[in-house]
Structures are given as C-alpha cells and as structure tokens.
C-alpha cells in the first residue's frame, strides 16, 4: 500500500474539536488512511495551546467575526465571534486514539506567511511590527514573519513544544502563499538584507526556509512544506518533503529533484470544493470536484503518498465537513490504495461502519440526498469554477514564480 495515505483537516478557519477529530480518524481508518494532517494555524486562528507562548492560543484563537461570502468578493461579515483551540490534553487524546487504529497525526504550523493569528499574539515578529487582528477574511494576506534571529529563536521554542507533543516523524511548516515582496516594504528588513548581502526577497525566502529546516531537523524531525516553498527555486530549496497542491507538473519536478512527494492537487483532492454546482449545495470555494473526478485520479509513479484537503473557510459544522468528505474520501482511498473491486462494491462493504459512527454521507442518488445548503455560510453562491480558481492562482504573485512549470 502507498506509504502516506493522508487526510488534511483545517481547524484554523473553523475550529473542529477533539471529539470530531477522533470521530473523523475512526472514519478514515475504515478506508485504510494512515495519516491525519492537522492545519493548526493560519491568519484566521491559532488552534493549539502553547505553554511557552500562551498568547498564541489566548489571543490567536479568537476572531471577532467571519466573512460570510466568497473570499474573492468584497467581504461581508457575520458579526459573530469565533474561537477554539486544542489543549495539550486534547492532542494526547487524539493521538492516542489515532495510534490505536494505525493513524499518525502530523501538525502544521504555517510560516512565514499565513501568520496573522501568530502576529495578533506576538506582533514583534512581523514585518513593520504593526498591530494585527486575527483575520475574519478569507484569502491570502500580507502577513509575514521577519527573517531575524529573534524570530528563529521564537520558532525554535514553538516547534520544540510541538515536537514534544506530536510523536510523528514529520512537522509541516506551510511555506505556501507567502507574499515575500512585503519584506521589501519593511525598512529594518531591507537594512538587514543589505548587511547580509541579500538582494532579492526570493533569497530571503530561501534563507528563511533553510533556517526553519535546521530547527526542524535539529528536533529530530523531517520537514514538510507545500510545493510553493520548493518551486521558488528547485535547485536551492530545502530537502523538505514536498506536498504538491498545484498539479502534477510541480510534483514531477520535485520527484526529479529527489524530493519525497505527497500529492494533494486541487483537482481532485480539495474536498472543500463542491461535489456539484447546484443550489442544493452549500457555498464552496469552487467546484465541481465530482466523485468521478476523484475516481479518475492517477498518482504519479514515485510519489510517497496522496492526501485530500478539507479547508474550512466555508465549513462551520461537523455535519457539513462530513458531507464534503464522504463519499469522496472513500473514492480516493479506493483509487489510490483500495482493492481491485469496483468502487460501489468497495464502498458498499464499508459503508455500514461509517453509518455506525454516525457519519453524514452525501448520497450518490440525489433522491436520497439530505439537502444541507442551509448549513453553509451565507446564501447559496455559485462560487467560482475550478478553472477560474486555477487561473487566479496562476495570475497571483506567488504562483507567478512558478508559472514556467504550469
């Protein structure tokens, strides 16, 4: 079987508690998943207790309100506070349950971008040291950590605490969607760059990720990053495992450069995209990504694993999260490491176990389907189709760096 059979749950954009995470682990185990990747931090929330830096969870876990329309539109907000974080006790319970059924839990602490919640707690580590609020808005932000020694000393302690809590051999450090030219807007960063002989923001990014890799490796762990951190410069990037989200071309280049690769391409592994474009579906970032899209996926030869992503900007409730996951998570398992029978037989043999757990499944037959459109954020919105999102990614500043690979 494939070595990394993964599921990613974003508990930053909306918090999902330990009970739900344990239930999800039980459901994933039915389909021989062996890895749960927890996206614990982002601009919209820091969701892990820190004994060393308590403001991370006391300040970083609370936002005043949340955007209730699509992230590419002018935002409107719900005016409702959102909060929540996992305590160390929660994490130990989650890991103990996961290990008892063959699943490892990999933490992600996202740096140097996607750091709005961190900087709301400790603004001294951010560019220009401006006051920052935990964001209620979806999309890519300008927040960026400074590349200074104080930042790396702080990150060493943060990752040390994380490494002690999570026994997994991997720590994921994000590295995606960092708007690195913002470093050039901070006079102290620019002065520091001159003193170090750095000319471009890209050089600073490479340096930043190398420093973080030293921290992670120093803790006896392997680093994982999203493919952005590799694609900036494949020849100078860190040796980290590459989690490839922008398609097979980057994944193949990473394989050719000898990196360990986990494939999680937007199409078809972003399960926050709707399964159908219809007024009966809740608001989603885009879509459709159908069951057939998932069943048609072909992993690259040489990839260590495959993983689906459940980002949660538009997903507030466990029922909604499950509706997005099932049956697509079963289809990905069947396609990538399942046995040879047809999908209906494969799923049919295991569905009673999902039902016994009380999991909400989006029925394939529309006549049997529960309509949960009203549980999503805001009014139904067609969202953006997958091609439009891919175009947006290509045109955006971060993706521009890797346009040659697409």
Can you say whether residue 73 is alpha, beta or left, with left for phi > 0 and alpha for psi between -120 and 50 degrees?
beta
Would you say 33 or 270 has its CB closer to ligand ACM?
Answer: 270
The verdict on whether 344 is a catalytic residue reads no
Interface with ligand ACM in residues 293-312 (CB under 6 A): none
Does position 177 bind ligand ACM by CB under 6 A? Answer: yes
Q: What is the rounded CA–CA span in Å between residue 244 and residue 103?
A: 21
- Helix and strand counts by DSSP (H, E) for the chain: 16, 12
Annotated catalytic residue: which of 32, 42, 186, 228? 42
Considering only 49, 90, 108, 176, the residue that binds ligand ACM (CB under 6 A) is: 176
Does position 245 bind ligand ACM by CB under 6 A? Answer: yes
Diameter over CA atoms, the chain: 67
Residue 48 near residue 120, CB atoms below 8 Å: no
Would you say 243 or 329 has its CB closer to ligand ACM?
Answer: 243
Would you say 177 or 213 has its CB closer to ligand ACM?
Answer: 177
The verdict on whether 78 is a catalytic residue reads no
Which DSSP string corresponds to 330-398?
Answer: HHHHHHHH--SS-HHHHHHHHHHHHHHHT-----SSGGG----GGGSSSS----EEHHHHHHHHHHSHH
Would you say 177 or 293 has its CB closer to ligand ACM?
Answer: 177
| Helix (H/G/I), strand (E/B), else coil: 172 | strand
| Helix (H/G/I), strand (E/B), else coil: 15 | coil
The verdict on whether 177 is a catalytic residue reads yes
Q: Least Å distance between CB 350 and ligand ACM?
A: 29
Q: Least Å distance between CB 230 and ligand ACM?
A: 12
How far lies 181's CA from each of 109, 185, 225, in Å? 22, 7, 20
Annotated catalytic residue: which of 10, 32, 161, 177? 177
Nearest Cα neighbor of 119 from 66, 71, 55 is 55
Please confirm whether the linkage preceding 59 is cis (ω < 30° from 0): no
Q: Least Å distance between CB 196 and ligand ACM?
A: 28
Q: Least Å distance between CB 48 and ligand ACM?
A: 19
DSSP E strands, 121-267: 170-174, 222-226, 241-244, 261-263
Considering only 16, 33, 138, 226, the residue that binds ligand ACM (CB under 6 A) is: 226
Q: What is the rounded CA–CA span in Å between residue 46 and residue 58?
A: 9
Annotated catalytic residue: which of 14, 57, 70, 114? 114
Does position 108 bind ligand ACM by CB under 6 A? Answer: no
Q: Least Å distance between CB 207 and ligand ACM?
A: 22
Q: Least Å distance between CB 16 and ligand ACM?
A: 18
State residue 109 phi and psi, 5-degree precision: -115, 115
Please give the size of the binding site for ligand ACM, defined by CB under 6 A: 4
Does position 138 bind ligand ACM by CB under 6 A? Answer: no
Q: Please give the distance of CA 370 from its chain centroid, rounded to a whole number.
A: 27
Would you say 85 or 245 has its CB closer to ligand ACM?
Answer: 245
Residue nearest ligand ACM by beta-carbon distance? 176
Contact string (CB under 6 A) for ligand ACM, positions 178-217, x = contact: ----------------------------------------
| Binding-site ranges for ligand ACM (CB under 6 A) | 176-177, 226, 245
Q: Which residues are catalytic?
A: 42, 114, 177
């Amino acid at each position: 079987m494939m070595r990394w059979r993964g599921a990613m749950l974003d508990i930053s954009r909306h918090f999902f508690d330990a009970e739900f995470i344990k239930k999800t682990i039980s459901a994933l185990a039915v389909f021989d998943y062996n890895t749960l990747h927890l996206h614990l931090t982002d601009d919209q929330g820091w969701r892990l207790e820190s004994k060393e830096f308590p403001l991370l969870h006391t300040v970083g876990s609370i936002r005043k309100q949340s955007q209730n329309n699509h992230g590419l539109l002018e935002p409107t907000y719900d005016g409702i506070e959102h909060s929540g974080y996992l305590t160390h006790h929660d994490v130990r319970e989650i890991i103990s349950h996961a290990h008892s059924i063959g699943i490892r839990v990999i933490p992600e602490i996202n740096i140097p971008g996607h750091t709005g919640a961190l900087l709301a707690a400790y603004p001294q580590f951010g560019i220009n040291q401006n006051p920052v609020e935990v964001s209620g808005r979806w999309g890519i932000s300008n927040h960026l950590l400074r590349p200074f020694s104080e930042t790396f000393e702080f990150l060493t302690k943060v990752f040390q605490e994380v490494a002690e809590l999570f026994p997994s051999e991997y720590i994921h450090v994000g590295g995606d969607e960092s708007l690195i030219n913002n470093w050039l807007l901070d006079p102290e960063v620019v002065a520091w760059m001159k003193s170090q002989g750095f000319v471009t923001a890209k050089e600073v990014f490479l340096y930043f990720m190398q420093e973080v890799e030293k921290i992670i490796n120093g803790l006896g762990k392997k680093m994982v990053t999203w493919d952005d951190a590799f694609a900036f410069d494949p020849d100078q990037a860190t040796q980290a495992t590459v989690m490839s989200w922008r398609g097979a071309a980057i994944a193949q280049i990473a394989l050719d450069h000898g990196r360990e690769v986990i494939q999680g391409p937007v199409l078809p592994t972003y399960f926050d995209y709707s399964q159908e474009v219809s007024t009966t579906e809740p608001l989603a970032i885009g879509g459709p990504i159908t069951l057939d899209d998932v069943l048609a996926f072909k992993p690259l030869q040489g990839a260590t694993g495959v993983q689906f992503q459940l980002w949660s900007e538009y997903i507030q409730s466990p029922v909604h999260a499950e509706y997005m996951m099932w049956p697509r998570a079963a289809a990905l398992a069947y396609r990538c490491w399942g046995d040879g029978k047809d999908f209906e037989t494969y799923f049919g043999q295991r569905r009673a176990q999902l039902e016994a757990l009380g999991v909400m499944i989006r029925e394939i037959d529309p006549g049997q389907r529960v309509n949960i459109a009203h549980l999503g954020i805001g009014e139904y919105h067609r969202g953006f189709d997958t091609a439009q999102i891919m175009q947006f990614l290509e045109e955006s500043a971060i993706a521009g760096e890797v346009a040659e690979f697409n």
